[in-house]
């Protein structure tokens, strides 16, 4: 299978502290890859490598090789703004801007001024439909996004990422601040778009990983312990540590 992201020997240092100890992980094109592991094992740190969000964390150094469609993303010539368009990110806390739903979803499109009103309207409708929130907001596109529930805000944030047509969507525990019904809607959204986008989701919810992901990577103390098809890992993991974690012995 074709890999959209390849990473090898990825290390991340926060000051003197080495948080990732050399991660080799390739992400296949399309479908959902889950990153699981106990709190503090390096899931967010690894995810932030993929669109260079660690650049924004002071005193941080990334080593190793990370490629998007074969191109080294840490190369000095990389346009980081374009990288983050191609590799979008959704966070744990919904973070819509304090303006209308329409302006949120078109935010990344209006800044380059290339799109007509009709094109913007079309992107808004398509993205909100993909994010499974269109029916709930279509009559309120001018309403401030902050007036919606947390679960709705999170789906608006997903639509905002999808509107710029990324290649990869990263989500860092996108449902852990949400109630079960809203979480289920986010999962539906991800199942909805998994044929069109490459999705990488960090979750500490093993049931969520087993429900929605195609492949699962298990991290522990900054190391990648096991990476395989989700079904295989949950039924018959190769490593004792994986089995112990999946059986709730720690974490």
Q: What is the total count of residues that contact Mg ion (CB under 5 A)? A: 1
| Residues 30-89 within binding reach of Mg ion (CB under 5 A) | 44
Q: Which residue has the tokens 């991800």?
A: 190
In Å, what is the CA distance from 94 to each residue of 78, 169, 173, 181? 28, 15, 11, 16
Q: Which stretch binds ligand ADP (CB under 6 A): 11-19, 118-126, 127-135, 243-251?
A: 11-19
Query: In the set 13, 14, 91, 99, which binds ligand ADP (CB under 6 A)?
Result: 14
Question: Least distance from C-beta 17 to ligand ADP, angstroms?
Answer: 6
- β-partners of residue 88 are 169
* Residue 13 tokens, joined: 């240092």
Contacted by 117, from ligand ADP, Mg ion, none: CB < 5 to 8 Å by type: none
Burial per residue of 187-214, b for 16 or more beta-carbon CB atoms within 10 angstroms, e otherwise: bebbeebbeebbbbbbbbbbebbbbbbb
What is the footprint of ligand ADP within residues 17-56 (CB under 6 A)?
17, 19, 37, 39-45
Name which of 5 and 193 has its Cβ closer to ligand ADP: 5
Cβ proximity to Mg ion: between 52 and 165 the closer is 52
Contact between residue 168 and residue 68 where contact means Cβ atoms under 8 Å apart = yes
Q: Which is nearer to Mg ion, 37 or 108 (CB)?
A: 37
- 171: nearest Cα among 180, 71, 68, 162: 162
Q: In what order do the strands lie in the sheet with 60-68?
A: 17-28, 3-14, 60-68, 71-72
Instruction: Considering the complex, state which of residue 41 and residue 133 has its C-beta at the smaller distance from ligand ADP.
Output: 41
Distance CA 146, CA 178 (A): 15
Could you report how far apart the first and last alpha carbons of the chain are, in Å? 32
Shortest Å, Cβ 45 to ligand ADP: 3
Place of tokens 């089995």: 243
Check binding of 57 to ligand ADP (CB under 6 A): yes
Min dist CB 135 to Mg ion, Å, is 32
Minimum CB separation of residue 54 from Mg ion in Å reads 13
Residue 245 Cβ, how far from Mg ion at the closest point, in Å? 16
Alpha carbons 108 and 104: distance in angstroms, whole number: 8
Q: Which residues bind Mg ion (CB under 5 A)?
A: 44
**Footprint of ligand ADP (CB under 6 A):** 14, 17, 19, 37, 39-45, 57
């Amino acid at each position: 299978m074709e890999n959209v992201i390849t990473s090898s020997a990825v290390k991340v240092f926060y000051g003197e502290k080495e948080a990732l100890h050399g991660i080799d992980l390739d992400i296949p094109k399309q479908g959902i890859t889950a990153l699981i592991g106990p709190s503090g094992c390096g899931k967010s740190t690894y995810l932030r490598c993929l669109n260079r969000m660690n650049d924004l964390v002071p005193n941080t150094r990334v080593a190793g090789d990370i490629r998007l469609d074969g191109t080294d993303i840490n190369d000095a010539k990389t346009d980081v703004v374009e990288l983050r368009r191609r590799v979008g990110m959704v966070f744990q806390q919904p973070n819509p801007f304090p303006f209308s739903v329409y302006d949120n979803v078109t935010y990344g499109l209006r800044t380059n001024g290339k799109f007509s009103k009709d094109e913007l309207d079309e992107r808004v409708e398509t993205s909100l439909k993909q994010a499974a929130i269109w029916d709930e907001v279509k009559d309120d596109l001018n309403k401030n996004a902050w007036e919606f529930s947390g679960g709705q805000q999170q789906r608006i944030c997903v639509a905002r990422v999808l509107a710029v047509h990324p290649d990869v969507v990263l989500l860092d525990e996108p449902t852990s601040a949400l109630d079960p019904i809203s979480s289920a809607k986010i999962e539906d959204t991800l199942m909805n778009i998994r044929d069109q986008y490459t999705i990488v989701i960090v979750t500490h919810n093993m049931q969520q990983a087993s429900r929605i992901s195609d492949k699962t990577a298990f991290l522990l103390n900054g190391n990648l312990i096991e990476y395989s098809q989700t079904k295989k890992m949950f039924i018959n993991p190769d490593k004792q540590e994986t089995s112990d974690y999946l059986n709730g012995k720690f974490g």
